[in-house]
């Protein structure tokens, strides 16, 4: 093959390439049309998916316990009170909790999402799995939800977090995104209130046993701070996640996928490449004969 196969470096000039295309234009056209049509059919038959996003700001900063660290650092640690760097740690822990397997599994179970996530394996008429012996597990649900449905992006500079849900049901996508933030915030709030209550009880116990005025005063300050934190946790609308922009239902035309023009272009490109390969093989066989 003079134009392609005989050149070990595949270093063809534009003229040679045009000659090759001219000789095999029918073959190239056939494969180009076939693959373009197939790509178009695929693009228009794929289930569209929609994206809903909820934007939240990082948790508020320090609880103001740093000044007591030199007085009661060890006692505060025993009481479960974090001294220093509380703001950044709280924000990081809240984000990791949102990503955690346990919270994701609980979310799937509370809203009974397994039949929705694995709709092809669910028999809605009989309200059971098509193959009960191979029903999807909660671990499979967590894996699919974490990798294909939920996306979490954090702006390291501002700390702003965007939680996205990509799903075929645009209404459900918006609901799930808002529910995720609301339920994670409530769970973290309940956890914090429980920890603060235990800390206060511990400090009360220690205050009743100490005879040192300085330690008693420091314990009193710690208790005052914990009581303030407990009050904030109970009364503040947003504890760990402050919603900046809630998720809304996407417009029917605003699809996240599939990207139909891109699929068609890729199909046409693949068809052209396959056509070139087929034409080159045919020409090589012809020259050998």
Average pLDDT, the chain: 81
3-state secondary structure of 119: helix
| pLDDT the model gives residue 267 | 87
Distance CA 280, CA 277 (A): 5
125 or 24, higher pLDDT: 125
| pLDDT the model gives residue 198 | 81
pLDDT digits (tens, 9 = 90+) for 214-257: 777 777 777 777 777 777 677 677 888 999 999 999 988 888 77
pLDDT digits (tens, 9 = 90+) for 166-223: 999 999 999 999 999 999 999 998 888 888 788 778 777 777 777 676 777 777 777 7
Total-model pTM: 0.70
| pLDDT the model gives residue 185 | 93
| pLDDT the model gives residue 64 | 41
| pLDDT the model gives residue 66 | 42
Distance CA 250, CA 248 (A): 6
Helices (H), the chain: 14-23, 25-45, 69-78, 86-99, 101-110, 114-117, 138-144, 170-209, 213-235, 260-288
46 or 120, higher pLDDT: 120
Q: Identify the weakest region by mean pLDDT among 72-81, 93-102, 235-244.
A: 72-81
Is residue 77 a contact partner of residue 65, using CB atoms and an 8 Å limit? Answer: no
Mean pLDDT of 47-73: 66
Indicate whether 81 pLDDT > 70: no
Element (H, E) at 53: strand 50-57
Q: Give CA separation, 91 vs 38, 86, 95, in Å.
A: 48, 9, 6
pLDDT digits (tens, 9 = 90+) for 250-283: 988 888 777 778 888 898 889 888 888 888 888 7
Whole-number percent of the chain with pLDDT over 90: 36
| pLDDT the model gives residue 61 | 46
pLDDT digits (tens, 9 = 90+) for 102-116: 999 999 999 999 999
Indicate whether 87 pLDDT > 70: no
CA 15 from centre of chain: 50
Local confidence band at 3 (pLDDT 50, 70, 90 cut-offs): very low
3-state secondary structure of 164: strand
């Amino acid at each position: 093959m003079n134009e392609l196969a005989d050149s070990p470096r595949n270093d063809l000039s534009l003229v040679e390439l045009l000659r090759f295309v001219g000789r095999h234009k029918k073959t190239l056209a056939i494969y180009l049309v076939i693959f373009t049509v197939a790509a178009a059919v695929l693009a228009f038959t794929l289930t569209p998916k929609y994206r809903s996003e909820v934007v939240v700001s990082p948790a508020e900063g320090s609880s103001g316990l740093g000044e007591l660290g030199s007085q009661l650092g060890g006692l505060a640690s025993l009481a479960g009170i974090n001294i220093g760097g509380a703001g950044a740690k709280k924000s990081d822990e809240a984000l990791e909790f949102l990503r955690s397997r346990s919270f994701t599994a609980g979310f799937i179970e509370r809203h009974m999402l397994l039949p929705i996530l694995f709709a092809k394996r669910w028999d809605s008429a009989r309200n059971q799995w098509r193959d009960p012996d191979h029903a999807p597990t909660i671990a499979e649900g967590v894996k699919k939800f974490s990798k294909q449905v939920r996306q979490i992006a954090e702006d390291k500079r501002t700390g702003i977090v965007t939680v996205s849900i990509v799903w075929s049901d645009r209404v459900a996508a918006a609901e799930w995104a808002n529910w995720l933030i609301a339920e994670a915030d409530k769970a973290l709030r309940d956890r914090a209130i429980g920890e603060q209550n235990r800390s206060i009880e511990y400090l009360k116990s220690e205050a009743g046993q100490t005879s040192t005025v300085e330690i008693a005063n420091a314990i009193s300050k710690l208790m005052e701070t914990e009581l303030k934190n407990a009050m904030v946790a109970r009364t503040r609308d947003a504890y760990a996640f402050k919603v900046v922009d809630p998720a809304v239902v996407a417009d029917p035309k605003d699809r996240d996928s599939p990207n139909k023009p891109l699929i068609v272009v890729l199909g046409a490109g693949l068809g052209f490449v396959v056509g070139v390969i087929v034409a080159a093989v045919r020409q090589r066989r012809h020259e050998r004969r």
